Amino acid sequence: MLYQKIIKIDDKTLELVEETNEQCQELEAFLEMKQRELAQTEKGIEKMLDLYEDGMITKQRFSERIGGHEKTKNELEAEIEKCKLALAAQVHLVTVEMIQNRIDEFKELFSSAISPGEQNRAYRLLVERIVYDREENGVTLEVLYK
């Protein structure tokens, strides 16, 4: 019974993994968009500087326009930093494939185990702990994976 419980990935876990992966993908897309915006803003700043150096715009006009670009640049850099920190927090992101690979590894070790001790070692590879709850009509097991 425990073996069957361990090798089955429950729907709740699958939903959580998918939701986390979607959030990560959205965050990566947002980061890329902000990085493109930052590159465009930096080009705008360079263009303003070139126009000023070539005498195409006055110092006053340069100061007025460059202020907005600098403010935008600082805001974008702050947003990019927040995104990078959020992505760094998800560095240990788990995919369904990773979970399935660990379960397959467990199945292989478990099936080749000769003694109960070897079976326990296989369990410890995958399982952090097992929580059970005795109820009127039996026992409910909750497997907490590593």
Quote the pLDDT of residue 2.
Answer: 63
Tens-of-pLDDT digits for all 146 residues of the chain? 566 666 677 777 778 778 888 888 898 999 999 999 999 999 999 999 999 999 999 999 999 889 999 999 999 999 999 988 888 777 666 666 777 787 788 888 888 888 888 888 887 777 777 787 888 777 777 777 77
| pTM attached to this predicted model | 0.57
Tell me which residue range forms the domain holding 6: 2-10+95-145
d(CA 122, CA 70): 58
**Taken in order 139, 9, 102, 28, is the CA torsion positive or negative?**
negative
Quote the pLDDT of residue 137.
Answer: 79
Domain boundary among 67, 89, 111: 89
- Asked if residue 141 and residue 124 are part of one domain, the reply reads yes
Residue 25: is it exposed, middle or buried by C-beta count within 10 angstroms (0-12/13-18/19+)?
exposed
- Asked if residue 99 and residue 85 are part of one domain, the reply reads no
- Asked if residue 103 and residue 44 are part of one domain, the reply reads no
* CATH number of the domain residue 32 falls in: 1.10.287
Q: Is residue 126 part of a domain?
A: yes
Domain boundary among 42, 67, 89: 89
